[in-house]
Every structure is written in C-alpha cells, then in structure tokens.
Amino acid sequence: MVILGIDPALTITGFGAIDVRGKTLSLIEAGIIITRASDPTPKRLDKIYQAIIRLIEDTQPSCLVLEKIYAHYRHPATSYVLGQARGVICLACATKNIPLIEYGATRMKKAIVGQGLASKTQVQKMVASILQLKNIPKYTDVTDALALAIAHSYIGKNII
C-alpha cells in the first residue's frame, strides 16, 4: 500500500510517499513544492494543485494524509492561508478519487514518537530511523509529511 503524506502551506508544501508492506515501511519519494510570495495567490494555489495531481499520478497512493488545521487565536490569517492550500489538495483528492485522511498534530506525534507533545527534532529523528534514512531531510515540511504517512500506516488500518 502506498500512502502519500502532505504538509500543506502556501509557501512550502512538504510531501512524502511511503510503501507499506506488512511491518516494513520504505520511502518512495519526498520533497517540497515551493511557490513564490511575489506571485498572485491563485497562481500559487494552481502550482500546488498541479503538483499534487502529478504526485498522485506518479505514486498511485491508496490514500492521502493531511494534518488537521490548528489555528492559534493570535494568528487567524495563518489558518486562512493554510485553508486555501488545503482546499486545492482536497480538490486534487476528489478529482483523482483518492481517500483523504486527516490527523491532528498531537495524534501524529503520539503515533510516531510515543508522546503527543514531541518536538520537531524528535519527530525528524524518528522518521529518519523508521525509514532508515541516512540523513534527516533538510525541511521539516518533508519530515512532517512523512510522519503523517507513517502515522497512518500505524493507526489508520481500518479507515480506508
């Protein structure tokens, strides 16, 4: 089973696809989708949408996993912008008829590290260990996306 994890954002969207065979997890592909802040929002959203469509076509995932939105009351605009990026990812899932799964950050961290309040560094190290990566990915967006895919392989067996 292939699971595609996405850490959405308007500037840098992380992605990671893993192959799950029994208890063995292996990395298929991981990286980032970057948009330029100087471009109009519709153009940036289209770039994310087109990239996700290509990822779905290339990896043929059984499902796509996103992190649930967490909005801090001091930064309401952040959730608005994040919601736009998530919206085009949800549209790509609907267009390609791929099940969409969502997990909160604490649920994902608990599945990966064993505690819901784990640090980014702890998540990075566990992702690298689980997937037997020689190096920790440069962008936390990538490890967050991979962590979502891994978490789903652990806790989502009956969802799809």
Per DSSP, the three-state class of 126 is helix
Put residue 135 in one of left, alpha, beta given phi > 0 → left and psi -120 to 50 → alpha. Answer: beta
Name the one residue in this structure whose structure tokens are 């549209």.
91
Query: For residues 26 and 131, is the Cβ–Cβ distance under 8 A?
Result: yes
148 vs 63: CA distance, rounded Å: 11
Query: For residues 3 and 98, is the Cβ–Cβ distance under 8 A?
Result: no
126 vs 109: CA distance, rounded Å: 10
36 vs 62: CA distance, rounded Å: 30
Catalytic residue numbers read 7, 67, 141
